[in-house]
Chain A
């Protein structure tokens, strides 16, 4: 009798997965950036401490990139195919997002919105997660 699913936890290479660790790190980056921003505005720290604090969001950001690189390194060919589709999604979705924000700004909505590096990075991270989820759903 052939079963359709494997009961072995160690079967084959793992597919590219959005693990809770990756999601947590994706959320930790903007959370740290917001916290550091609030901290730097509220207290007048010495310059060395301000520099140190300002660069703190790089830690969760770097950990996110490392976790993603590890996920790619351990993914099989379908996992890498999913990643390629996800990157394609990020590219076109970002263009769509830029156009939408521009059109809304022309209409008087979101007129004060400015694309900063932080907003761009968060948008890219969010779109990468959405893209990976959508692409992996297709092959489930």
Chain B
């Protein structure tokens, strides 16, 4: 699954660690999501969307 997490995080001027702290996950999890090695669970995707005040589809999109 493709995502815009890295660019959205950069727009807020947050480090991976800052975002990890806000979402209560590890920095490795943020890195794995940004590099598209790991797809977050639905609750985490909602949490990310709430944090960035946008819809899930604006952050994540299907690879096909």
Residues of B within 8 A of A6 (CB): 15-18, 20-21, 27
Complex CA gap A81/B25 in Å reads 13
Mark B23-64 against chain A: 1 for CB-CB distance below 8 A, else 0: 111111111100001101100100000000000000000000
A14 touches B26 (CB 8 A): yes
Residues of A within 8 A of B27 (CB): 5-6, 11-12
A139 touches B17 (CB 8 A): no
Of residues 75 to 121 in A, which have CB atoms within 8 Å of B's CB atoms?
A: 76-79, 81
Q: Which of B15, B16, B25, B31 contacts A76 (CB 8 A)?
A: B25
The prevalent SS among residues of B at the interface is helix
Residues of B within 8 A of A3 (CB): 15
Complex CA gap A5/B29 in Å reads 12
A15 touches B29 (CB 8 A): yes
Residues of A within 8 A of B37 (CB): 138-139
Closest to A77 in B: B41
The number of chain A residues touching the other chain, given as a range, is 20 to 34
Looking at A4, A79, A140, which has the most chain B CB atoms within 10 Å of its CB?
A4
B15 touches A2 (CB 8 A): yes
Residues of A within 8 A of B25 (CB): 12-13, 76-78
CB distance from A108 to the nearest CB of B (A): 45
CB distance from B23 to the nearest CB of A (A): 7
Residues of A within 8 A of B40 (CB): 77
Complex CA gap A8/B37 in Å reads 24
A7 within 8 A of B: yes
A76 touches B26 (CB 8 A): yes
A4 touches B28 (CB 8 A): no
B9 within 8 A of A: yes
Which A residues are within 8 Å of any B CB, using their own CB? 1-8, 10-15, 76-79, 81, 138-140
14 contacts between A and B (CB under 8 A): A2-B9, A4-B31, A5-B15, A8-B17, A10-B21, A11-B17, A12-B20, A12-B26, A12-B29, A13-B25, A76-B26, A77-B40, A79-B29, A139-B37
